[in-house]
Amino acid sequence: MIKIQLTDSTKKKIEDIFIKDMQKQSTGLFQVLQRDKVKLLLEERYEFLYNIFYDDTGKVLKENVKEFLLSDRQKMKELMIKSPTVNEKDSKILQNEIFRYDTFSKRNSAYEILEKLQVNVCPYCNRQYTFTLVGDSVRPQFDHYYPKSKYPYLAISLYNLIPCCGICNLAKETLDTLKKPILYPYEEEFGEEIKFVVQEDTLRAMQGFSDEFSIKIKATFTEDNELMKKINTQVEELKLERLYNKHKDYIQDLVKNSYINSQERIDELLKKFPGLYNSKEEMQRVLMMNYVEKEDWGKRPLAKLTADIYNSV
Ligand SMILES: [Zn+2]
């Protein structure tokens, strides 16, 4: 729903932490691949992986390992399309013996990466805070955008790990996103074109006196079918409309607040309290108790909903 803002400098920092971790740790991929047992297992049963990680003489190709771990979505997609289907038993072997997400997820590096990423609200639903406290075992869950049960070799690919809330992670768990993609938060988002709208816009409901209304997620465009399909899948699989309809009390307050805090009132207040607010945007945020500017939607839960309602009233 809300895109993860990843600057070049943050990207470099998280990749450095991640690759160092994978090199240094005994269960990190670089060290795991050095083991004869693992090499043999890959050579005999998972040739598509063996060919990526080893040269003709059986030496680990370190650059390839690094590239593999930092694959972007396109590269992950190409790999999955080329790779044979992995059955449940093999999936367990690959996850338990080679692509050790279980050990990585407990290490400090996972927390450090999350802290650098600053994804403080779930990018899938924009409803829950997802703060990280390094050293205190507080962090969001990592969703595997491409599920690790079906694509176990992507279990520790950095850009397959999406920080998110527990509700979204659980709802999405087994969804095969290669076949049924949802928005990939490192690249895609709802943006201005997908909006929350109040469906039954009777005056009383719109003014917040009645809860006989429902909230819908609607597109203001129709041309990009692929994108629309992903959005529909996301709304359906993550139960977004049903969950947002649980926020009716918030929406009612929001509608009333949006009426009261018209542009005229904001201009008036700015005149009345010169110097108290740095900008019109800041005053809007304080009055609405949320961010309404698009670039800030990832900073507070329900910011996207707030912006859409505020702008529609
Ligand atoms: Zn969520």
| Interval 23-65: pLDDT, tens | 999 999 999 999 999 999 999 999 999 999 999 999 999 999 9
| Confidence (pLDDT) at 63 | 98
Cα of 169 from ligand 1 centre, angstroms: 7
Single-letter amino acid, residue 78: E
φ/ψ bin of 126: left (φ > 0), alpha (ψ from -120 to 50), beta (otherwise) = left
Residues in the chain, total: 313
Q: Does residue 201 surpass a pLDDT of 70?
A: no
Q: Ligand 1 mean position to 235 CA, how many Å?
A: 11
**Ligand 1 center to residue 269 CA distance, Å?**
36
% of the chain at pLDDT higher than 90? 78
Question: Which whole number is the average pLDDT over 144-165?
Answer: 97
Give the per-residue pLDDT at 206: 62
User: Is residue 1 within 8 Å of 126, Cβ to Cβ?
Assistant: yes
Q: How many Å lie between the centroid of ligand 1 and the Cα of residue 265?
A: 34
The alpha carbon of 131 and the centre of ligand 1 are apart by a number of angstroms equal to 13
Confidence of residue 204 (pLDDT cuts 50, 70, 90): low
Closest CA to 33 of 110, 89, 107, 97: 97
Q: Taking the model in full, what pTM does it have? A: 0.94
